[in-house]
Amino acid sequence: MIILYQFSIVLTQVQFLFGPDVKRILTEGKMARYAMLTAFGQDRPGIVAALSEGLYQLGCNIEDTCMTRLRGAFTMMLMIRLPEGLAADHLASRLTPHTSPLGLTVLCREVPPQAAERACEPEASLFMLSVYGADHPGIVAQVARVVTDHRGNITDMNTRVIGAAERPVYVMVLEVQLPKGTKAEPLQQALDRLKPTLGVDLTFRPLEIVRL
């Protein structure tokens, strides 16, 4: 959450510098073409540098990204703006000189313009759901089903297994959106009923939405 807060500050500074023309400055020009690139492999120093350098040399622009380490593996998802003349299905092979030495697997597909468009966020209530308890199968499935059945949309999720191998503890943090006008109390009550079934602690609290 600290990173997201700092990122919001940077976006606010951009808006301050460019004023009301920021949207025009960011979107003017020819119809942009986008690709979703996924890369993963054994974690080691230099992965981000190698991939970003390769994309830069091909004329690609890195826009939205999500990168994290899962145990000993590093995985990344990137929304890439493609240059003219470069097809999305050629991108992975063109990056091979940069990714092959690191043993990275790279997948890429073109994203329809309507899916890549930076649309205004719909009015919705934002909540954080935290889950903590003994690890066992079914925690994610049952929590996600309750959220979905109460019109919740999971927009971000992070999980970790921590603790000793003989007594693993499961930690899950979700960002949940509820449509405008949807009361949070029924979802809160359903989650409370889930606690004894799963044998976990759950906390569900509202988050402040920063709009730029």
Question: Please, what CATH class does the domain formed by 124-207 belong to?
Answer: alpha beta
Tens digits of residue pLDDT in 95-109: 999 999 999 999 999
Averaged pLDDT of the chain: 87
Secondary structure in 3-state letters for 94-133:
HCHHHHHHHCCEEEEEEECHHHHCCCCCCCEEEEEEEEEE
Helix, strand, coil percentages for the chain (3-state, nearest 5)? 40, 35, 25
So what's the pLDDT on residue 85? Answer: 93
Residues linked to residue 79 through DSSP beta bridges, in sequence order: 36
The CATH code of the domain at 33-116 is 3.30.70.260
So what's the pLDDT on residue 49? Answer: 97
pTM of the predicted model, to two decimals?
A: 0.74
Residue ranges covered by each domain of the chain: 33-116, 124-207
So what's the pLDDT on residue 201? Answer: 96
Tens digits of residue pLDDT in 156-195: 999 999 999 899 999 999 999 999 999 999 999 999 999 9
User: Mean pLDDT, to the nearest integer, of 74-82?
Assistant: 97
So what's the pLDDT on residue 46? Answer: 96
Tokens of residue 66, six digits = 């999500």
Beta-sheet strand order (sheet of 73-82): 61-70, 73-82, 33-42, 105-111
